[in-house]
Chain A
């Protein structure tokens, strides 16, 4: 018994060791894809661009660097390949690489504008099917081609992919599985952040940087429209992401007031009015005073009330504008339909399921803001009278 089992062990070990190591890949035989860009060409083919860091120039003990090979400038390079579908484009790319593309560390997926408008379903499906890629990668749309955005440098981070990720984290992080879920949910449309080129604003330097400010509102898996400057904060309001952000609004002719939001909470109230659904969006915003241009004294209850009112007006405007725009375009970004689906399922199936977009257009939505300034350290001093 013991001898046979020992023999068996020896046999297994030797056989495995001799043939061995099917999946072994050294760390330095892999090209780690940090960010991918997906574009659709004019002729309908796909273009996949990847951003790969160059470990030898990332710096680390023992890496002598040896000069050269540092891409154009930064410790990374961008390359792209094309093909009839995404995987084929990857293979095209791979054919020109000495290292194996490795997608498990991809944190950011950038979808080009054209592709986003034609539908992102295939991209999301590739992420879902391929075991290496993760459903937790961020989905971001780029204005223009994704490849161009990937090529832009960021001066704070060594790797632009990392920079994009950090920027998404501070605005709206939309992971692949969240986008997928939103697409599948009845009566709810997804939102993804938009990244765009912006000119550098330093004297004597020309060139472009990345900027993330607006959001793309989806309809199904297609981008429906992109928010403008005024609507963008409203997206964050609706997604409960305003914490830490500031709002600035005019108080009087004398100047503006800036408040930083420290807590925000969105609730939706539903009621039926004349057989039609009507919603109230209630947003509770708690803030601190950051800048006080008109030098008002908030100790005065009257002034305080006025400030709060101004603040509430500002937010209401933003949110209403976004909702009106989105509903006109047929995108239910606040998920009113989903609310009905979840809580009034039989009625939903009966009445609204099939033409919710049509209902949206004349959906009555009221926005109620409950503002509060919780803290002000100093109201500020008037320097000159």
Chain B
């Protein structure tokens, strides 16, 4: 579980070793990466298209994406061999294409996530604060975290995500009184299948972001366990998400979920454990925000890895301009939050999925070549 100790002595130099993360950390990174992103407003579109069975679509997606990644990652031995050559040194042509696709995917992901965070904060916490100011602040913290490196991101994520997961698991108990199981009925209806397919498709590209692990294979402590760790992460994320969607539908009903832009927030507002503990929603929000920031930091870290791959300079040289540019773009690219939500619901479903498939295919080819 623990990561290996680095014996780097402060300023006195010594060679900085490659950062290594354990399988457990990888799982949590994947889980956090997938879960914190989808939880914001995706339940809305799921409920809109698949009504009371929307909680099934994370489970469908879970199967599809796990299978896809299982296929992409391939045999353990091949991967172990690959981890010693892949993206080390000067990139080959194939690797360049890989890097370009990867970069584009995660640049857009970072911009989208940053804007999602800011829009959420603007709606819930600070309605009249200019979003540029908030994006600068968020950008700063993201840069700091991304510059700290993979190990630090992993450690922070582990701490935060476990807290978040504990809260999520406690949600059904906290909302016990308000749940109406009748909201799930009629349980299955043939008419719902196309809806379920649609909602699963919309969710697919979000879960597909787990493909980011491909660029990290040289940082894994245990390359052989990578495949399992990733799938474990996807399972955790999607099960938690299914739980959240289910509780949302049970508490609020399909109709409210499918019209509110932040259904998860609406749901946690219903928590009422005695009159005194009536306002836990913002407490839960403050647990979620750091997790999401860790996700964005990983986004930026991945983009940075992409851009500096094969270079000899210190890796962090471009991270400040990169972070600022991404923060700025996130404000500029979307006119308002509806546009952003439309983008993340519909454009992303196609755009993300296409890039993810491409990345997967390139990786398989690269793997076969070695």
Any A–B CB pair closer than 8 Å: yes
In this complex, the interface size class of chain A, counting residues with CB under 8 Å from chain B, is 20 to 34
Q: What 0/1 readout, one digit per residue, does chain A (340-362) give for beta carbons within 8 Å of chain B?
A: 01110100000000000000000
- A269, B26: Cα distance in complex, Å: 52
Q: What 0/1 readout, one digit per residue, does chain B (109-127) give for beta carbons within 8 Å of chain A?
A: 0000000000000011111
B256 touches A181 (CB 8 A): yes
Residue B70 is within 8 A (CB to CB) of chain A in the complex: no
Contact residues, B125-143 vs A (CB, 8 A): 125-130, 133, 136-137, 140
Q: How far is the CB of B64 from chain A (nearest CB, A)?
A: 28
How many chain-B residues does the 8 Å CB contact rule pick out? Answer: 33
B129 touches A181 (CB 8 A): no
A180 touches B255 (CB 8 A): yes
- A158, B140: Cα distance in complex, Å: 48
**Chain A residues near B127 (CB-CB < 8 A):** 23, 131
- A5, B144: Cα distance in complex, Å: 9
B255 touches A184 (CB 8 A): yes
A23 touches B186 (CB 8 A): no
A345 touches B186 (CB 8 A): yes
Could you count the A-B residue pairs with CB atoms below 8 Å apart for me: how many are there? 68
Closest to A345 in B: B186
- A135, B267: Cα distance in complex, Å: 9
Interface segment, one of A8-16, A145-153, A292-300: A8-16
Residue B163 is within 8 A (CB to CB) of chain A in the complex: no
Contact residues, A128-145 vs B (CB, 8 A): 128, 131, 134-136
- A5, B269: Cα distance in complex, Å: 38
Residue B182 is within 8 A (CB to CB) of chain A in the complex: yes
Given the interface pairs A12-B136, A135-B269, A135-B270, the reply to whether A181 lies near B186 with Cβ below 8 Å is no
Contact residues, B291-338 vs A (CB, 8 A): 316, 320
Residue A28 is within 8 A (CB to CB) of chain B in the complex: no
- A297, B189: Cα distance in complex, Å: 56
A177 touches B270 (CB 8 A): yes
Residue A4 is within 8 A (CB to CB) of chain B in the complex: yes
Residue B180 is within 8 A (CB to CB) of chain A in the complex: yes
Residue A338 is within 8 A (CB to CB) of chain B in the complex: yes
Closest to A21 in B: B129
Contact residues, B236-268 vs A (CB, 8 A): 251-253, 255-256, 259-260, 266
Closest to B266 in A: A135
Q: What 0/1 readout, one digit per residue, does chain A (113-140) give for beta carbons within 8 Å of chain B?
A: 0000000000000001001001110000
Q: What 0/1 readout, one digit per residue, does chain B (172-195) give for beta carbons within 8 Å of chain A?
A: 000000001011011001000000
Given the interface pairs A23-B128, A135-B269, the reply to whether A345 lies near B189 with Cβ below 8 Å is yes
A342 touches B129 (CB 8 A): no
- A277, B337: Cα distance in complex, Å: 48
**Chain B residues near A184 (CB-CB < 8 A):** 253, 255
**Chain A residues near B144 (CB-CB < 8 A):** 5
Residue A202 is within 8 A (CB to CB) of chain B in the complex: no
Q: How far is the CB of A186 from chain B (nearest CB, A)?
A: 11
CB-contact partner of B256 in A9, A135, A136, A345, under 8 A: A135
**Chain A residues near B124 (CB-CB < 8 A):** 131
A128 touches B256 (CB 8 A): yes
Contact residues, A230-253 vs B (CB, 8 A): none
B137 touches A136 (CB 8 A): no
Q: How far is the CB of A251 from chain B (nearest CB, A)?
A: 37
B130 touches A22 (CB 8 A): yes
Residue A1 is within 8 A (CB to CB) of chain B in the complex: yes
B316 touches A177 (CB 8 A): no
A1 touches B186 (CB 8 A): no
- A23, B127: Cα distance in complex, Å: 7
**Chain B residues near A338 (CB-CB < 8 A):** 182
Q: How far is the CB of B38 from chain A (nearest CB, A)?
A: 21
Closest to B281 in A: A134
Residue B83 is within 8 A (CB to CB) of chain A in the complex: no
Closest to A348 in B: B186
Given the interface pairs A16-B133, A23-B127, A345-B186, the reply to whether A180 lies near B140 with Cβ below 8 Å is no
Contact residues, A181-234 vs B (CB, 8 A): 181, 184-185
Chain B CB within 10 Å — which of A135, A341, A343 has the most? Answer: A135
Closest to B184 in A: A342
Contact residues, B184-223 vs A (CB, 8 A): 185-186, 189
**Chain B residues near A22 (CB-CB < 8 A):** 126, 128-130
- A2, B124: Cα distance in complex, Å: 34
Residue B108 is within 8 A (CB to CB) of chain A in the complex: no
Closest to B130 in A: A22
Given the interface pairs A135-B269, A136-B269, the reply to whether A12 lies near B137 with Cβ below 8 Å is yes
**Chain B residues near A8 (CB-CB < 8 A):** 140, 320
**Chain A residues near B133 (CB-CB < 8 A):** 15-16, 19
Residue B80 is within 8 A (CB to CB) of chain A in the complex: no
Q: How far is the CB of A12 from chain B (nearest CB, A)?
A: 6
A136 touches B126 (CB 8 A): no
- A148, B213: Cα distance in complex, Å: 64
- A136, B178: Cα distance in complex, Å: 10
Q: What 0/1 readout, one digit per residue, does chain A (22-50) give for beta carbons within 8 Å of chain B?
A: 11000000000000000000000000000
B252 touches A181 (CB 8 A): yes
**Chain B residues near A177 (CB-CB < 8 A):** 251-253, 256, 266, 270
Chain A CB within 10 Å — which of B140, B144, B186 has the most? Answer: B186
A181 touches B253 (CB 8 A): yes
Given the interface pairs A5-B144, A23-B129, the reply to whether A181 lies near B320 with Cβ below 8 Å is no
- A333, B9: Cα distance in complex, Å: 74
- A108, B324: Cα distance in complex, Å: 46
- A270, B15: Cα distance in complex, Å: 76
- A184, B249: Cα distance in complex, Å: 13
Contact residues, A142-173 vs B (CB, 8 A): none
**Chain A residues near B182 (CB-CB < 8 A):** 338, 342
Q: How far is the CB of B97 from chain A (nearest CB, A)?
A: 31
Given the interface pairs A9-B140, A12-B136, A16-B133, the reply to whether A342 lies near B185 with Cβ below 8 Å is yes
Given the interface pairs A12-B140, A131-B127, A181-B180, the reply to whether A1 lies near B256 with Cβ below 8 Å is no
Chain B CB within 10 Å — which of A8, A338, A341, A343 has the most? Answer: A8
Q: What 0/1 readout, one digit per residue, does chain A (309-349) give for beta carbons within 8 Å of chain B?
A: 00000000000000000000000000000100111010000
Would you give 22 A-B contacts (Cβ < 8 Å), ordered by A? A1-B316, A5-B320, A12-B140, A16-B133, A16-B137, A19-B133, A22-B129, A23-B128, A131-B124, A131-B127, A135-B252, A135-B256, A135-B269, A135-B270, A136-B278, A177-B253, A180-B253, A180-B255, A181-B180, A184-B253, A185-B253, A341-B186
- Give me the interface of A with B, judged by CB distance under 8 Å: 1, 4-5, 8-9, 12, 15-16, 19, 22-23, 128, 131, 134-136, 177, 180-181, 184-185, 338, 341-343, 345
Question: Which 6 residue pairs are nearest across A and B when measured between Cβ atoms?
Answer: A342-B185, A345-B186, A181-B253, A184-B255, A22-B129, A22-B128
Q: A128-B259, A341-B186 are in contact. List 6 more A-B contacts (CB 8 A).
A: A22-B129, A23-B129, A177-B251, A181-B256, A185-B253, A345-B185
